[in-house]
Copies of this chain bind each other. A is one copy, B any other.
Amino acid sequence: MAGRAAEPHVIWARPERAGRGPRPAYTRDEIAAAAVRIADAEGLDAVSMRHVAAELGCGTMSLYNYVPRKEDLHELMVDAVSGEHELWEPSGDWRADMLRVAHQTRALMHRHPWLPRLMSPVYGFSPNALRYLEHCLACLDPFEASYGTKLELVAMVNGVVTTYVSNELATTERTRSLPWSQEQEDAVRIAYLGSRIASGAYPRMAAAFAEDSGPIDLEAVFRRALTRVLDGFERTGGSA
């Protein structure tokens, strides 16, 4: 029996091929791709060991030869889609590069709506995450600051992207596990909110809703948030 579990491990430190027995039928990439396919199509909750095994065409328990725990499967998934990041030659304008990074990550998360839920610093050192991080640091070469500050900047940008995309996707993704439609859900919640606001107990909320500047442009909100964050770093500059 291999490192079936029960003792600490990182999936990346496990060799894919163990030399001794019959050659494994699947690669880690194939397994990750199968899981990603399911998550994209049916949501993260549909990614069960049984389901992924079926997608691969093998018995459920065979999966455990490749992935000691379900969490490791999640780690494979995050790394797999992290590989979709396009890395370019830094332009010399770190602000522009960081904006480009952020927009790319946002697009990635829209392509894989389950990704925000799996975002964790714990997964931040997978192979593709390291490539991505190194690329961000390269983009920040022109930014005069310590590496500590640069890492804080990268963390902040990633955090803002994750937060905003989570919010953008919240109702849609939530509806997946509900027996009614998103429109119904939204309608009910907005009706309740309206009734609370009409109670007069929240005058500023009422004023905010009275402003009513038409439909919200989520991408514009996102862009403004990013701009402000980068402004905050530019002001502090290399200090701290």
Contacts and interface: CB of A to CB of B under 8 A. Distances in A.
Contacts of A138: 204
* Copies of this protein chain in the complex: 2
A134 interface: yes
Contact of A208 (B121, B150, B227): B150
Determine the main DSSP class of A at the interface with B.
Answer: helix
Interface residues of A, number: 73
A1 to B, nearest CB: 15
Interface of A: 5-10, 12-13, 71, 120-122, 125, 127, 130-131, 133-134, 137-138, 141, 146-148, 150-152, 155-156, 159-160, 162-164, 166-167, 170-171, 174, 177, 179-180, 184-185, 187-189, 192-193, 195-196, 201-205, 207-208, 211, 213, 221, 224-225, 227-233, 235-236, 240
Given A10-B189, A120-B174, A227-B236, 15 more contacts: A8-B184, A8-B185, A120-B166, A133-B205, A134-B202, A134-B203, A146-B211, A147-B208, A152-B221, A152-B225, A159-B160, A160-B163, A224-B236, A229-B229, A231-B232
